[in-house]
Amino acid sequence: MKSSKSILISAGLIGNVIEWYDFIVYGYFAQVFAKLFFPTHDPVVSLILSFLTFAVGFLARPLGALLIGYLADKKGRKPALVLSIYLMAVPSILIMLLPTYQSIGIAAPFILGILRIFQGLSAGGEYTTSVTFLLEHSNPERRAFYASINLSGAILGILIGSFVATLFHRIFSMEEILSYAWRLVYLPSIILIFLGVIILKRTYETPSFVKEILSPSRGFPLFTAIKHYKKSLVLTLALSAVQGVAFFTLFVYLSTYYNRILKLPADQSFLINTLAMLLLDLLIPIIALLSDRYGRRPFFLISLSLYSFLSIGLVKLMLSAVFMTVLLSHLIFALISSLFMSILPATLAELFPVKIRGTSFSVLYNISLAIFGGTVPMVCTHFVEKLNILTFPGIYLSAISALALILSILFLPETNPRKSKIK
């Protein structure tokens, strides 16, 4: 049993690295996919169509959360995790092999959209199920830390995607990327898939789930949440909306914003993003440990306040288009994000009891992310490039954070087992 904890941690890390690298790398190469699969006379329209396909993957997430989350509640957390990995692995390999618009015409973007839907089904269930998986294996006094391992894995996967984008724009010309190099970005997923499946086969079901098998819940878990946990439902939707807008504005869209609006070179744009994500990933376990000691609620109130009052000003600073100023602003965003994102997984899982946790947490989180996260690049591109509202990314993040702040002040309980009766 001595090595079991390390196996569980590795499963949480590698599983999320696989899922999120595969899912998000499309966003970093959106301009490339726009030219290869959505050629139009207007490059902005092509980019919006490319980001629309990015959003389609998110729109499939709630259904994936429903299917995989329900499986996790009824059959176990482990089989749900294994299924989610295969649902991501096969579409990723097929995207790597997919002919472009020039070769097969309109069938190319159609097939790409279908594959992104399957990736969305996987992403919808994997992250929240893996959070539940590690949280239920952990010591109650270290819940946030263990749950944050999944987030660290997800960000590491996205960070690898950002690093790959930076590297590719340094070593390949745009002609080479459009010709063949874009297919290479999916190669790392093959290795990660192999490692992830091997590790998941060596893990065991959570004690909490095994205990609940003796007294299974009646009815559909999500209906139970709607009927008996209304405040938890509203809070999950609101806080997940902040997660979606913050993460996909700051760590996905802004790379395109720097390149197209600020006219920074592509490699510098991706470098800024990579450094900010590295800082975020380093801070997450530290903040999670602090919240295990001092509680979740204070970190939410501080981070949401900072998002609300500083976002517009930080984006205005970025408009200077000076590399170091942009980098500093992005690093400040990363610091604020660490205060919020590191404690969100544990808190949302703790808001629901074990019997309905898998379905309720997964579905509500992913509905909110589908609406407010996956649409971010498309919405920001429209407001920034079509309506010329250059500070819109900051306005959007500030507004959604202010709403969540008000709801948190009114309704958010302290879910830390040390300071609360919530188990």
pLDDT lower than 70: segments of the chain: 1-5, 8, 11-12, 192, 195-196, 199, 212-221, 418-423
Give residue-wise pLDDT tens across range 9-54.
Answer: 776 677 778 777 877 788 778 888 888 888 777 777 777 777 777 7
Give residue-wise pLDDT tens across range 299-335.
Answer: 999 999 999 999 999 999 999 999 999 999 999 999 9
pLDDT at 380: 93
Distance in angstroms (rounded) separating the CA atoms of residues 251 and 155: 10
Are residues 98 and 115 in contact, defined by beta-carbon separation less than 8 angstroms?
yes
Looking at CATH, the fold of the domain delimited by 4-411 is given as Growth Hormone; Chain: A; (1.20.1250)
User: Residue 34: is it exposed, middle or buried by C-beta count within 10 angstroms (0-12/13-18/19+)?
Assistant: buried
pLDDT at 146: 84
Are residues 278 and 407 in contact, defined by beta-carbon separation less than 8 angstroms?
no
pLDDT at 242: 97
pLDDT at 279: 95
Distance in angstroms (rounded) separating the CA atoms of residues 399 and 146: 31
